Structure 1
């Protein structure tokens, strides 16, 4: 079973780098940057500098240890594939597959058709709307720009279908508490 995970602003805090460098507003998505910015040397360096969110790698490792396969599906340009793989390795992220250069439709197709993901972790409100009723679990990394989710073409947002999280520790806690064997194992480690 596959879990599909977005990279930027889901596991990598790219927004922090964008705010530092360009003072981008966090209530607008996507950030207003020049077209093709992330294919430039400056853009690629910015992606490399992004720090992982605390507990993201550990949480995804726990899911991998439970038998899930982890695929990173990103709209980063294809030029960023190598540095993305290296970034994931450097920060201890489990990765069975890494795909870059996907637009929203491509990400949705990979998650739902190719991978048939049982869970998707994302921050893009438009992509989240497209995936809402197509994946069993949709986890949305909370940002000001995705708090008012778009209705789309006749789509209605059902709060119970979106699992919004601010920190990866919340995801980790949900994974542990929903798996009694894992909860017991972690409880024994803490003794």
Structure 2
């Protein structure tokens, strides 16, 4: 069973670097202050490398991997960023069965729903969330001001209550542990998870 995970602003705090560099507002997505070509140049690649992982993201995904899930990172980062993305994930201890870059929204939907047939997606893009909502069993949305009002999908009203919002990866980890009695027993036996 596969889980698809976005990279930027889902496991990597790219927004922090964008705020520092461009003084962006986090109310619009994508940020209009960032030139579209920025991410294809050397400054964009350096920004990807500088971004820090969100606390507990790697540990939570390791827990999911230990439960038997395969982890695929599907990113709209340019294809040229694949190598540095793989290195970034390794450096920060993220489990990775597959890493794909250069995907637009349609490509991410295709990979998640048709190729991998994921059981869950972790994402921050509100438009992509709307496109995936009724196509995947579980949609986890990393909470940002720009995704608090989700757009309507394909003219139909959809139930935003099906989206599982999280502010911190510790919330996801707690949900995974408490929903799995065996893992909860092991965790209690060891004390707090590292």
TM-score range for the pair, normalised by the shorter chain length: over 0.9
In the alignment, structure 1 residue 152 sits paired with structure 2 residue 153: yes
Q: Quick check: 2:140–2:163 contact (8 Å CA) kept in 1?
A: yes
Q: What are structure 1's unaligned runs of at least 5 residues?
A: none
Residue 180 of structure 2 corresponds to 179
Q: Quick check: 1:126–1:150 contact (8 Å CA) kept in 2?
A: yes
Q: Quick check: 1:76–1:102 contact (8 Å CA) kept in 2?
A: yes
CA distance in 2 between partners of 1:155 and 1:38 (Å)? 33
**How big is the shift at 1:173?**
0.3
CA distance in 2 between partners of 1:16 and 1:133 (Å)? 31
Note the 1:1-191 alignment, pairs <5 A.
1-32=1-32, 33-190=34-191
Q: Secondary structure at the match of 2:117?
A: coil
Q: Quick check: 2:150–2:160 contact (8 Å CA) kept in 1?
A: no
**How big is the shift at 1:154?**
2.4
**How big is the shift at 1:53?**
0.2
Between the two proteins, the alignment pairs up a number of residues equal to 191
**How big is the shift at 1:31?**
1.6
Q: What are structure 2's unaligned runs of at least 5 residues?
A: none
Q: Secondary structure at the match of 2:185?
A: helix
CA distance in 2 between partners of 1:16 and 1:151 (Å)? 28
Query: What do residues 132-173 of structure 1 show as CA deviations (whole Å, max 9, x unaligned)?
Result: 000000000000000000013223231331000000000000
Q: What TM-score, normalized to structure 1? A: 0.98
Q: Secondary structure at the match of 2:177?
A: helix
Q: Quick check: 1:118–1:136 contact (8 Å CA) kept in 2?
A: yes
Q: Quick check: 2:14–2:48 contact (8 Å CA) kept in 1?
A: yes
Q: Quick check: 1:129–1:155 contact (8 Å CA) kept in 2?
A: no
**How big is the shift at 1:34?**
1.3
Q: What TM-score, normalized to structure 2? A: 0.96
Q: Secondary structure at the match of 1:62?
A: helix
